[in-house]
Amino acid sequence: MINKDIQALVLEAGQKSKAEKGTRIVPQFTEKIKWPVNCTIGPGLEGAIACESAVGYIDGTAGKLLYRGYDIYELCAYSHYEEVSFLLLHGYLPTAAELYTYQEQLARFRSVPDVVKQLASVNLDGLSEMAALRLGVLFLRQAFAQIEAKEGHLNHAAVGSNVSDINFAYCYQMIASLPTIVAAIYRLREGKEPIEPDPDLSHAANFLYMLKGSKPAPEEEKVLDIALILHADHGMNASTLATMVVASTLSDLYFAVGAGIAALNGPLHGGANEDAIKMLQEIDNPENVTVWLERKLAKREKVPGFGHRVYKTIDPRARILRPLAKQLAAGDPYLQQLCQVAETLEREMAVRLGKTKKVYPNVDFYSGLVYLALGIETRLFTPIFAISRVAGWTARTMEYLENNRIFRPRAVYTGPFDVQYVPLEARDKKIALRKNSP
């Protein structure tokens, strides 16, 4: 059941966005592509058009985010992660019967005792949480491969035809089981027994239950559910592209998702909310914001949680998470103070860099505060990102495989030509002469 207070906060954030930016979305890059296409490309493939997609749309100027045409504010207020992941994968909202069947499948795939047993047999001390998660996905692949070995389905999505039901089963399994794997890794590191999922709990509630060992309050469940929805998809980001590139070779979806996890591990992509929390804790008090920020900007250093390659206004995900962080912080003086630091810093940044540089809060600025208020340690922030984003990874990959073409960009060669090979002995003599020369 949706917590009405949380729902009201989300809808209020949506109304504020409409009041500031209006309701009109300006379509950009939405026409049917006639290949080959000419486009202006910058470093890091900026501006490159790699494919067509109906999964999600970002209006960076107006600060709008759509999943399959549905506004993110409405989905966060009225829907839940299970329904949203179905929407992303299949392109439409399910009927009651379809949603029931899908949730039953997720409940079945959520329990992965063989994977947990394998993780328990490995020394995880030398692995980061994300490295351990990649290992867990490989164990998951192995476990499912054994089940499906007789049918021979593991490696092939047929190019040029509809993707088979077995590939959707892979998607369902990874969406369902990644929270189980992350929670198991955490508990094993803490010297605790992993907890089996509860079939009567939702996706979000199950993760908190498997993590902590107690069922979450409805408010906690709903806030985490919203955070998962907000991170479920976001265009052709680095981890999504990595997933699709691997899948385009017709490697199976487990290897593809493993590539997405590897890309998400990078601090320029998945770890920014950890940096944002550390920053707020370093500032400590709202009174310290001005001096801290002046020093930061004087050194021309980036401020974690601010700025985005696409958004030139406030990230809509940050608009939603801001009041949720404050709601969860109520009653906790330390968290309340961190929220005050965050709001003060946001105001200062708006004055200094908002209008001139279009630098505003992104999703990472407030997501860490939300997770901290839920009692989640910072080392789990990026794995939670993966738990959520696996829906977008698999949805866009399944869509791309319907008309698959292996990714093969070009590089502009800037090296020399006609270099003459020098035998090793002659190279050593030249080095010796250089060392002995006055």
List 225, 233, 252, 364, catalytic entry: 364
Which pLDDT tens digit goes with each residue over 87-143? 999 999 999 999 999 999 999 999 999 999 999 999 998 899 999 999 999 999 998
Question: Of 59, 203, 308, 315, which one is the catalytic site residue?
Answer: 308
In this structure, is residue 362 part of a structural domain?
yes
- Residue 436, domain member (yes or no): no
Q: Which amino acid is at 220?
A: E
Q: Is residue 137 part of a domain?
A: yes
Domain presence at residue 411: no
Q: In what order do the strands lie in the sheet with 56-59?
A: 56-59, 64-67, 70-71
Mean pLDDT of the 370-395 span: 97
- Where in the sequence is the domain holding 60, given as residue range(s)? 4-401
Give per-residue pLDDT as tens, 22-71.
777 777 766 777 778 888 878 878 778 889 999 999 998 899 999 999 99
- 364 has catalytic annotation: yes
Alpha helices for 29-120 (secondary structure H):
72-78, 81-90, 96-110, 113-120
Does some domain include residue 339?
yes
Domain with 338 in it: what CATH number? 1.10.580.10
In the chain, what percentage of residues exceed pLDDT 90? 74
For 184-193, what is the mean pLDDT? 97
| Residue 285 reports pLDDT greater than 90 | yes
**Cβ atoms of 225 and 204 closer than 8 Å:** yes
pTM for this model (two decimals): 0.92
Reply yes or no on whether 418 is catalytic: no
- Which whole-number Å values give the CA distances from 363 to 103, 149, 276, 304, 420, in the listed order? 28, 41, 10, 11, 53
> Which residues lie closer than 8 Å to 191 by C-beta, 6 or more apart?
none
Identify whether 106 is part of a domain.
Answer: yes
What total of structural domains would you count in the chain? 1
Query: Is residue 258 included in any domain, yes or no?
Result: yes
Question: Would residue 68 count as lying in a domain?
Answer: yes
Sign of the alpha-carbon torsion through 4, 6, 10, 13: positive
